[in-house]
């Protein structure tokens, strides 16, 4: 833990969160699964068995042999950053931080019993001090939430899928699990983006770090507001066919797209939830055992429902119509995939417009 009396204090004052529970920053869809798993009898034993399938000790030895372990004498600024993030988020056991020689921009947290954070030289060279602070806080958030279990399960299931690929139904079942885990992990990334913001408490730096993942080091050529407009354009782009393409593009991904992450993080930073955390009103770890699983699942369902309501995506609009009644859905699908009604300002086109307005009013 950072000793604030020995010269390792943050370069600027930030709010500290004693006894903060990871539930404070976890996305509802991420938190619901975590709370449910933590309620399971013997869950810790399951984690240990999973960890045994991917040797945690061998991974640690590999990084000791091939990467640079940060300390007061090696990458001291990064060493102070991980200690500082642990101090702000009240994590007693500070994860080891390694710097790995790799031009690819990457950072990750591995290990379940003793998490290790790794950042690449490509990332260190790309980010400024405050951006690095947000990234390291993001990884500390992964460590605290126990997200490494997702990566372990994904690794095991992916390897299993290749072995049973010749069994059609068996492989389909495993691939369904993998797809579900990737959706879960994408929400876990949104959770850890929030943890990074809490650790650094600099929204602009957090958004810049995410923008650099998309556009590289040329920040003088980029603009946060323009990038957010790009995110809005992506959300509403095209028709139903484009919506399907976007869905197919995101399903294989373990991380949300950069424009989505920036948009989601800014939205959370402007929420009452974030303001309450900064004011000291947040869930404590001591209350974690009493967290209601059903309440968390309800929150996750409400989160997905709200995302459908807020989205400008044509497919999400179709889902809203389904919720309001199926009267216009068939016509919309027919017009979209046949091209009918595009040059005609009346008839089905007018009916669709009215249906959309009605749906918007009810939202």
pLDDT tens per residue, range 175-190: 666 666 677 778 889 9
The catalytic position among 26, 56, 130, 139 is 139
**What was the pLDDT predicted at 101?**
97
User: What is the tens place of the pLDDT at every residue in 73-126?
Assistant: 999 999 999 999 999 999 999 999 999 999 999 999 887 678 899 999 999 999
**What was the pLDDT predicted at 59?**
74
Q: What is the largest CA-CA distance in the chain?
A: 74
60, 114 Cβ separation under 8 angstroms? yes
Q: Assess whether pLDDT exceeds 90 at residue 239.
A: no
120-151 in b/e burial notation, b at 16+ Cβ within 10 A? bbbbbebbeebbbbbbbbbbbbbbbbbbbbbb
The residue among 75 and 358 whose pLDDT is bigger is 75
The residue among 71 and 171 whose pLDDT is bigger is 71
**Residue 82 domain flag:** yes
User: What is the tens place of the pLDDT at every residue in 24-67?
Assistant: 999 887 776 666 555 555 555 555 555 555 556 777 788 899 99
**Residue 13 domain flag:** no
**Residue 26 domain flag:** yes
**What was the pLDDT predicted at 114?**
81
Total structural domains within the chain? 1
**Residue 151 domain flag:** yes
The residue among 338 and 280 whose pLDDT is bigger is 280
Mean pLDDT (the chain) is 76
DSSP-assigned beta bridge partners for residue 110: 116
Active-site annotation holds for 139: yes
**Residue 47 domain flag:** yes
Q: How many residues does the chain have?
A: 363
Among 173-177, 268-272, 316-320, name the most confident range: 268-272
Domain coverage including residue 99: 22-323
Question: What is the percentage of the chain residues whose pLDDT exceeds 70?
Answer: 56
User: What is the tens place of the pLDDT at every residue in 147-171?
Assistant: 876 666 666 666 666 665 555 555 5
User: What is the tens place of the pLDDT at every residue in 256-270?
Assistant: 889 999 999 999 999
- pLDDT category at 199 given cuts 50, 70, 90 is very high
The residue among 301 and 30 whose pLDDT is bigger is 30
**What was the pLDDT predicted at 333?**
43
Q: Assess whether pLDDT exceeds 50 at residue 196.
A: yes
Q: Assess whether pLDDT exceeds 50 at residue 2.
A: no
The residue among 295 and 70 whose pLDDT is bigger is 70
Q: Report pTM.
A: 0.72
**Residue 5 domain flag:** no
**Residue 328 domain flag:** no
**Residue 329 domain flag:** no
- By mean pLDDT, which of 219-233, 234-248, 289-303, 341-355 is the weakest? 341-355
The whole-angstrom separation of Cα 332 and Cα 347 is 12
């Amino acid at each position: 833990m950072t000793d604030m009396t020995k010269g390792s204090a943050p370069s600027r004052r930030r709010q500290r969160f004693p006894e903060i529970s990871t539930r404070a920053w976890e996305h509802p869809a991420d938190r619901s699964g975590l709370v449910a798993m933590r309620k399971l009898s013997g869950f810790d034993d399951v984690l240990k068995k999973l960890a045994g399938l991917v040797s945690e000790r061998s991974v640690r030895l590999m990084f000791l042999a091939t990467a640079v372990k940060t300390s007061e004498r090696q990458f001291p600024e990064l060493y102070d950053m991980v200690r500082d993030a642990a101090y702000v988020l009240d994590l007693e056991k500070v994860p080891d931080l390694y710097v790995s020689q790799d031009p690819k921009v990457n950072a990750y947290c591995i290990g379940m019993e003793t998490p290790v954070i790794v950042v690449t030289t490509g990332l260190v060279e790309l980010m400024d001090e405050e951006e690095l602070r947000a990234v390291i806080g993001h990884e500390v958030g992964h460590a605290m939430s126990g997200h490494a279990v997702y990566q372990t399960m994904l690794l095991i299931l992916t390897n299993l899928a290749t072995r049973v690929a010749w069994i059609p139904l068996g492989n389909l079942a495993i691939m369904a699990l993998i797809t579900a885990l990737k959706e879960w992990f994408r929400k876990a990334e949104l959770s850890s983006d929030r943890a990074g913001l809490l650790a650094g408490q600099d929204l602009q730096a957090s958004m810049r770090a995410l923008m650099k993942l998309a556009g590289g080091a040329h920040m003088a050529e980029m603009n946060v507001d323009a990038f957010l407009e790009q995110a809005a354009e992506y959300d509403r782009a095209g028709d139903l066919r484009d919506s399907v393409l976007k869905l197919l593009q995101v399903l294989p991904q373990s991380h949300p797209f950069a424009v989505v992450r920036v948009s989601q993080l800014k939205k959370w930073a402007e929420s009452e939830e974030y303001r309450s955390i900064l004011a000291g009103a947040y869930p404590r770890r001591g209350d974690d055992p009493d967290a209601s699983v059903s309440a968390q699942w309800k929150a996750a369902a409400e989160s997905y429902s709200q995302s459908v309501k807020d989205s400008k995506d044509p497919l999400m609009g179709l889902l809203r119509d389904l919720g309001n009644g199926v009267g216009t859905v068939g016509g919309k699908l027919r017009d979209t995939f046949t091209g009918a009604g595009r040059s005609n300002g009346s008839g089905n086109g007018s009916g669709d417009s009215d249906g959309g307005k009605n749906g918007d009013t009810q939202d």
